[in-house]
Amino acid sequence: MTRSENIMSRWSRMKQQSARRAAPEDLSSDSKPIDAEAGDLNRATAAAPATDSPASPAFDPASLPPLHSITAGTDIRSFLGSNVPLDLTKAALRRAWVTDPAIRDFIGIAESQWDFNDPTAMPGFGPLSAGDVAGLAGLGKTEPTCGATTEAAGAEKVSATRQIDEIDRARAREYSLLAALLSRSPDAQMIEHLVRLSGDATPLGAAHAALGAAAASINPERIEREYFDLFVGLGRGELFPYASYYLTGYLYGRPLARVRETLKQLGLERTEGQGEPEDHAGVLFEVMAGLASGQIVAPGQTERTIFETHLEPWIGRFFSDLEHAQSAKFYACVGTLGRIFTEIETEAFSLSK
């Protein structure tokens, strides 16, 4: 190194010498860019797949269990195969999550979900009672059977004061019919009963006749497919028959918490294996059927309170959407029947005030 060569010049010279020694002698100046070579390699790999890799088996829908049979304990690994359509995999996962109480029933604290000015509006955040303190401190054990017995004894007294007439029995049958049709696709036996429906000149009678005619003209497989497209779907159905969705735009919202609190006051609990949350239209109609028939015993104004609080604000819009749904033919008649019946109930409850 000469005196005139500074440290940067020497570093540059040695760097160039090292690069010349490392370069291959036969490297042509017109070599292709790295990206081009990578592209050629990718095309070659795609054109000539490895012969020893096992081919994916053909997808057979009959090899999978029905989506409606999936529960929280079902092994859904068969839906996760690489040959299963992605939408079908998502539908199976959604069904497994909906039927799992640990996931389905979770309601966390969210903005605008509860009235934070009312400490009793949020389960677990209200004031503690003497019984709560004893239970938390391990000073005693609760006896739920005694509480249920006390409530049943009080219920019998309420039941004795109410007379169930023919109108109430007819209302209960109407609620039960709509609850069944909204909760599941009708089977062959139920379709036979629907075919025998007769009507009269009233709007409700005409709706009955139209439903019977639709049941007679549409085959059961088509009706089952229609129910799937409307309320289940691959990923999601066309409609969401939930109070939370129609009132807030979201599932599992504040309306669901209010329904659960109301049913808890009546001593009602979710049936084992019930996959839908309590603000589902079918569940609420089943509750109304039990109240109208007297099978669910409650104070006299309970029917009106539940209808006006948990059904009237949204159920008319839902049935109207069902009437005009793209996938609905048979269920369009169900929508018409539900809309007319709930309009009659709304007017009747308003007159009873």
Paired with 242 in beta bridges are 280
Per-residue pLDDT at 135: 40
Per-residue pLDDT at 45: 39
Residues 122, 261: contact at Cβ < 8 Å? no
Residues 75, 69: contact at Cβ < 8 Å? no
Per-residue pLDDT at 137: 39
Per-residue pLDDT at 320: 96
Per-residue pLDDT at 155: 43
Paired with 280 in beta bridges are 242
Per-residue pLDDT at 345: 94
70, burial (CB in 10 Å: exposed 0-12, middle 13-18, buried 19+): buried
Per-residue pLDDT at 96: 83
Per-residue pLDDT at 195: 93
**What sign results for the dihedral spanned by CA atoms 134, 137, 140, 141?**
positive
Structure tokens at 94: 């959604």
Per-residue pLDDT at 179: 94
Per-residue pLDDT at 62: 77
Query: For the chain, where are the alpha helices, taking DSSP H only?
Result: 7-22, 34-47, 86-98, 101-104, 130-136, 144-160, 166-183, 188-195, 203-217, 220-227, 243-248, 254-265, 281-293, 302-306, 315-323, 330-351
In one-letter notation, the amino acid at residue 301 is Q
Per-residue pLDDT at 136: 41
Ordered per-residue pLDDT tens for the chain, 353 residues: 555 556 767 777 777 777 676 555 544 444 444 444 444 434 433 444 444 445 556 777 778 888 878 888 888 888 888 888 888 888 888 888 888 776 776 666 555 655 656 656 555 555 544 444 434 433 333 333 333 333 443 444 444 445 778 899 999 999 999 999 999 999 989 999 999 988 888 999 999 999 999 999 999 999 999 999 999 887 788 999 999 999 999 988 899 999 999 999 988 877 766 778 899 999 999 999 999 998 988 888 899 999 999 999 999 999 999 999 988 999 999 999 999 999 999 999 988 76
Q: Is 194 helix (H, G, I), strand (E, B) or coil?
A: helix
Per-residue pLDDT at 5: 59
Per-residue pLDDT at 97: 80
